[in-house]
Amino acid sequence: MKSKSTKMRIDKFLSNQGIGSRKDVRRLIQKGFITVNGHQIRQIDMKIDAIDDDIHYDGQKVHYHSLVYLMFNKPKNCITATEDSRHRVVMDFIEHPLKDKLFPVGRLDIDTTGLLILTNDGQLAHNLLSPKKHVDKTYHATLDEAINDSIIDAFNEGVKLDDGYVTKPAKLVKIPSREDAYSVEVTIQEGKFHQIKRMFSAYGIHVLELKRVKMGALQLDQDLGEGEFRELTREEYLDLSKK
């Protein structure tokens, strides 16, 4: 039976399939580059069925991909889960025909913002999260105290957490564009529960703000506002799956 959720606006379909931003694809539609079932269309909000309709861009078929990779800029006060009875969850921000099949790759705390990948590709998720793969995750943190060189060295060697676990080496640097020593960039290779907060807490430092800006080679798009998402470009996907 045909799923109701595969019906959507043509501009949304095209941008979901990675043809370009919403603005780009509207221009392509208006210029007559798109055909639906053999007919040139110019109506940006035309309703199509992503599976049943035959859509071409500049003569090439736009295939509806079954594997989806979204970059999401997580806001605060939202849980990295698919459902929760008390709080908003990341999936509340996503509109996508395959939404029910997507899941977040790893977790960010409720008050952490920034880069989260949502996908239905279990293999990619496994590769990014597997401790054996050592995929770097980079965060910007605002701290309640300045860091000193001995803390930088300690992060470099691995920090002993409150449960006795010693983390893999982490890179800690002051953010060069900022004057104060309270803003830092930290790169970790694993994703233990509250890892960054607990690493600073080992030195009596409290993390006031935390934002993930990079995962492997994938950088958070600065134009993506909190709560917004977009499909990864082909290059971003290839970079990410290389790791």
Instruction: Give the residue numbers annotated as catalytic, written as ranges.
Output: 109
By DSSP bridging, strand 88-89 and strand 78-79 are parallel
109 scored as a contact of ligand URA (CB under 6 A): yes
Q: Which of 108, 151, 215, 218 binds ligand URA (CB under 6 A)?
A: 108
- Residue 78 contacts ligand URA per CB under 6 A: no
Restricting to residues 200-239, name those near ligand URA by CB under 6 A.
210
| Binding residues with ligand URA: total (CB under 6 A) | 8
73 near ligand URA, rule: CB under 6 A:
no
Pairing mode of beta strands 207-215, 113-119: parallel
The C-alpha atoms of residue 108 and residue 62 are separated, in whole angstroms, by 34
Q: With contacts defined by CB under 6 A, name the span among 5-13, 118-126, 190-198, 233-241 that binds ligand URA.
A: 190-198
Q: Does 76 bind ligand URA (CB under 6 A)?
A: no
Residue 214 CB, shortest distance to ligand URA, in Å, is 13
Q: How far is the CB of 206 from ligand URA (least distance, A)?
A: 11
The H or E element containing residue 240 is: helix 234-242
- Among 79, 135, 196, 205, contact with ligand URA (rule: CB under 6 A): 196
Round to whole Å and give the CA distance between 67 and 73.
Answer: 20
Q: Whose Cβ is closer to ligand URA: residue 97's or residue 114's?
A: 114
Rg (CA), the chain: 21
Q: What angle do CA 21, 63, 67 make, to 5 degrees?
A: 80
The answer to the question of residue 112 lying near ligand URA (CB under 6 A) is: yes
Is 109 or 221 the residue whose CB approaches ligand URA more closely?
109
Taking phi over 0 as left and psi of -120 to 50 as alpha, with beta for the rest, 3 belongs to beta
Among 26, 76, 160, 194, binds ligand URA (CB under 6 A): 194
Distances in Å between the Cα of 72 and the Cα atoms of 110, 172, 216 are: 14, 25, 15
Q: Say how many C-beta atoms besides its own lie within 10 A of residue 77's C-beta.
A: 9
Residue numbers at the binding site for ligand URA (CB under 6 A): 108-109, 112, 194-197, 210
